[in-house]
Amino acid sequence: MVADDVNPSVSSFSGFPMCVPRSANDTLCPLSNRPTVGTSTTPRRIFQAPDPLVMAPFLVGDFIVYRGFRTPANQIVAFEIIAWNVQITTTGAPTYIRIEETLVGVYTNDPNGEVAETRFVGYTSDPSVTVSISAVDINPCTGLTTDRAIAVAQQRPEAGGRNKWISRIDGTVPTVYTREYRAVASTGTVVTRNGIVAGQYVSPILEWIQPELLVPGSEPLIHEFSQFSHITKGVGPDEDGNIFGPLDPFPQSGVAVFDISTCSPATPTDPQTPQPHVDANIKIGTSGSTATVTDHLYVRSDDTFVLKGSQLNPSTVFANDTLTWRWSIVTAESAGTEANLSTFSRSADNKTATLKFASSAPTGDYLFRLEITSQSQNRTGTADVTITLFSGADTVTVQAVTWTSSQSGTIGVTCVSNYLVDSKVGMTVTYPGDGGVTTSAMAATPPGSGSWSFSTRRVSRPGTVTCQSLLGGQGTRTGTTAKKLRR
């Protein structure tokens, strides 16, 4: 039994997912994904996946390492199973990621306290990718999550082709901690034929290191929990609407915790009213697109963007119902009208709208609305999405800058643009070093998401880091998180 239902945690050393075939010709676990040495039956131990979109089967001779626990019924529940002597690689998307270690050094401002470094260690199936690390913040009222970039991992080109990456964040400033962290490859995420989301790995923190006393004979340090958002605020509601708030009793005095009574009461789904949902993205070329957003999308006049609707109410009354789908601009809350669109076409079933602004359209916010009407219930549900047309510079924010002394100085930078078309943003990062000011290209991580990352070695600790896009947007941060030295 495997307890992890989110990540491909049954894998080869690189993180490539592995399986036990259900039959001799299991197309989702094919023997063809385990090539042999020449014409023999001996399986290769290091190879590139013949088909990177399906799992590879375990074979006799694979050395298995697992992490988990044994139940009283003598059943092993594992959250990770690794074929240690099988290294399966990929090139480009999909890229698989495995996290081996997550350790957080908890910050204190007590001068007698030493803060351990925060460290993420893992492996990838493609050594050429960049891996970015984000904290998964949780809305305590809704349970919805938001990724907050905190670091960029550095590839470790050690002998043997392990494809190892590591991220070190040394605690010199207060940091908000959360329950889970996400590692994402610069090649983006891909849903495989097995239904696995390749290109990311979500992990809880396996080890928390509280501040340690520097000066013998001093008063012991308190254990610091005030910045643990998942226990000061909670993790949101379960499927029945019960909100799990702060830890009670809280393990530290004098800490203000979130009051879940301030959350708006959950509105139960009306079984007779459709529940529309809108996804929005920008088309790239003939078949590509940016990442999908659900609330706010920034576009330019030469962009074609797509609104895709869906009906989320699971009530059985809609199973054989006739639903009417209607798209419109809410003129009273928009910078213009439908006349300012050069394209506004609907799909045959009216569930998707493809749009483009006219070159003369006024810039600003446009509120688009999807209405779904149930013919049998005579009720209408609505969902809105804001599209902002802009012509000037984008908004660039520096989200994280880290520096460690390892490998003659290693810097990691993460920046975000509110505009998602990578070819028009072309983000660069500028930082001072021993040889003067250096400007380098950043990688979209993942493509079309608005997030950009950069990492390099042999860099002195920079004072100021600036990210700038081709559209003129610029973000600057002074100072980095760096090693807190022993006293």
- Write out pLDDT tens, residues 230-262: 999 999 998 888 899 999 999 999 999 999 999
- How far is the C-alpha of 404 from the C-alpha of 102, rounded, in Å? 17
- How far is the C-alpha of 323 from the C-alpha of 274, rounded, in Å? 9
- Looking at the fold, whether 182 and 199 belong to one and the same domain comes out as yes
Question: Among residues 420, 293, 404, 301, which one has the least CA distance to residue 355?
Answer: 301
Q: What is the DSSP letter of 271?
A: T
- Looking at the fold, whether 134 and 35 belong to one and the same domain comes out as no
One-letter amino acid identity for 218?
A: S
For range 348-354, the mean pLDDT: 95
- How far is the C-alpha of 426 from the C-alpha of 301, rounded, in Å? 18
One-letter amino acid identity for 210?
A: Q
Classify residue 314: in a domain, yes or no. yes
Instruction: Report pLDDT digits (tens) over 254-283.
Output: 999 999 999 987 667 788 899 999 999 999
For range 42-58, the mean pLDDT: 96
Classify residue 428: in a domain, yes or no. yes
Q: Is the pLDDT of residue 77 over 70?
A: yes
Classify residue 1: in a domain, yes or no. no
- Looking at the fold, whether 216 and 357 belong to one and the same domain comes out as no
pLDDT of residue 484: 40
If you write DSSP's letter for every residue of 67-133 in order, what string do you get? EEEE-TTS-EEEEEEEETT-EEE--SSS--EEEEEEEEEPP---TTEEPPPEEEEEEES-TTS-EEE
Instruction: Report pLDDT digits (tens) over 203-223.
Output: 999 999 999 998 888 889 999
One-letter amino acid identity for 178?
A: T
Q: How many CB atoms lie within 10 A of CB 111?
A: 9
For range 399-420, the mean pLDDT: 86
pLDDT of residue 236: 94
Classify residue 370: in a domain, yes or no. yes
Residue with tokens 């070159």: 359
Tokens standing for 152? 């960029």
Classify residue 483: in a domain, yes or no. no
- Looking at the fold, whether 303 and 376 belong to one and the same domain comes out as yes
Classify residue 3: in a domain, yes or no. no
pLDDT of residue 393: 97
Q: Is the pLDDT of residue 412 over 90?
A: no
Q: Which of 369, 389, 409 is the last residue of a domain?
A: 389
Residue with tokens 């070329």: 285
Please report, rounded to a whole number, the percentage of residues in the chain having pLDDT higher than 90.
68
Specify the DSSP element, H or E, that contains 11. Answer: strand 10-12
pLDDT of residue 240: 81
Instruction: Count up the domains in the chain and report the number.
Output: 4
- Looking at the fold, whether 104 and 19 belong to one and the same domain comes out as no
Q: Which of 389, 421, 440 is the last residue of a domain?
A: 389
CATH code of residue 466:
2.60.40
Q: How many CB atoms lie within 10 A of CB 334?
A: 19
- Looking at the fold, whether 380 and 472 belong to one and the same domain comes out as no
- Looking at the fold, whether 369 and 457 belong to one and the same domain comes out as no
pLDDT of residue 265: 79
Do 459 and 404 contact (CB within 8 A), yes or no? Answer: no
Under DSSP, is residue 298 helix (H, G, I), strand (E, B) or coil? strand
pLDDT of residue 325: 96
Cis preceding linkage at 249, omega within 30: yes
Tokens standing for 219? 């008063």
Q: Which of 340, 374, 389 is the last residue of a domain?
A: 389
Rounded to 5°, the CA angle 389-395-401 comes to: 155
For β-strands 207-209 and 97-105, DSSP reports them as: parallel
Cis preceding linkage at 446, omega within 30: yes
CATH code of residue 305:
2.60.40.10
Tokens standing for 385? 């999405």
- Looking at the fold, whether 330 and 378 belong to one and the same domain comes out as yes
- Looking at the fold, whether 196 and 75 belong to one and the same domain comes out as no
- Looking at the fold, whether 213 and 168 belong to one and the same domain comes out as yes
Instruction: Report pLDDT digits (tens) over 132-158.
Output: 999 999 999 999 899 998 888 888 766
Query: Residue 123's pLDDT band (boundaries 50, 70, 90)?
Result: very high
Residue with tokens 């012509």: 391
Classify residue 267: in a domain, yes or no. no
Burial label for 37, CB within 10 Å (0-12, 13-18, 19+), is exposed
- Looking at the fold, whether 370 and 416 belong to one and the same domain comes out as no
- Looking at the fold, whether 66 and 139 belong to one and the same domain comes out as no
Cα dihedral value 238, 242, 243, 245, nearest 10: -110
Tokens standing for 388? 């902002």
One-letter amino acid identity for 408?
A: S
Rounded to 5°, the CA angle 71-200-140 comes to: 75
Under DSSP, is residue 333 helix (H, G, I), strand (E, B) or coil? helix
- Show the domain range for 158: 97-258
Classify residue 485: in a domain, yes or no. no
Taking each continuous run of H as one helix and of E as one strand, the counts in the chain are 2, 39
pLDDT of residue 59: 96
